[in-house]
């Protein structure tokens, strides 16, 4: 029943981001796919990960693994990243049509704007310290019962 409600809610309240996710899913139809707590997960070759409604696109090889391999296995980092991205799907359920404006745009700017990349590197700030990312970590952990990215510095 929970999975059915998740699906219905993502395709009504989260219609915009789930529609964008479906288009992206179709563009990556040959990649590996599986379900995780009702979300459709795609492992792709891109170095970043993104959540669009009920569709989650996770990197198959986290670029930050080399920096953290003395503390974490590749499998553990991949699982933590999945929990984090799943947290974004819960944000989509909560915010609905406001998700892309309140989470998607700020998160993208935080991740890709050169001046913010420089700030994170020089100040050794965790990417996951930004409010959109911290909230996704908390939601992912609460719903799945698994550890997320916490406050890891990946840059």
Digit-coded pLDDT (tens) for 56-79: 999 988 888 888 989 999 999 999
The pLDDT value recorded for residue 2 is 76
Per-residue pLDDT, 110: 97
* pLDDT at res. 1: 57
What is the per-residue pLDDT for 136? 98
Domain map (residue ranges) of the chain: 2-144
CB 146 within 8 A of CB 79: yes
Q: CB of 32 within 8 A of CB of 82?
A: no
* Separation CA 40–CA 112 (nearest Å): 25
From 5, 152, 4, 8, select the one nearest 69 (Cα to Cα). 152
Segments in the chain below pLDDT 70: 1
With contact defined as beta carbons under 8 Å apart, do 81 and 63 qualify?
no
């Amino acid at each position: 029943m929970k999975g059915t409600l998740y699906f219905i809610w993502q395709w009504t309240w989260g219609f915009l981001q789930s529609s964008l996710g479906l288009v992206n899913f179709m563009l990556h139809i040959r990649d590996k796919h599986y379900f995780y707590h009702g979300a459709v997960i795609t492992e792709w070759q891109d170095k970043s990960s993104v959540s669009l409604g009920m569709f989650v696109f996770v990197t198959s090889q986290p670029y930050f693994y080399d920096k953290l391999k003395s503390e974490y296995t590749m499998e553990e980092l991949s699982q933590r990243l999945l929990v984090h991205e799943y947290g974004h799907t819960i944000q989509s359920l909560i915010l609905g049509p406001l998700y892309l404006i309140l989470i998607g745009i700020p998160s993208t700017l935080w991740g890709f704007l050169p001046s913010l990349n420089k700030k994170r590197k020089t100040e050794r700030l965790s990417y996951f310290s930004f409010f959109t990312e911290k909230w996704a970590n908390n939601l992912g952990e609460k719903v799945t019962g698994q550890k997320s990215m916490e406050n890891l510095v990946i840059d």
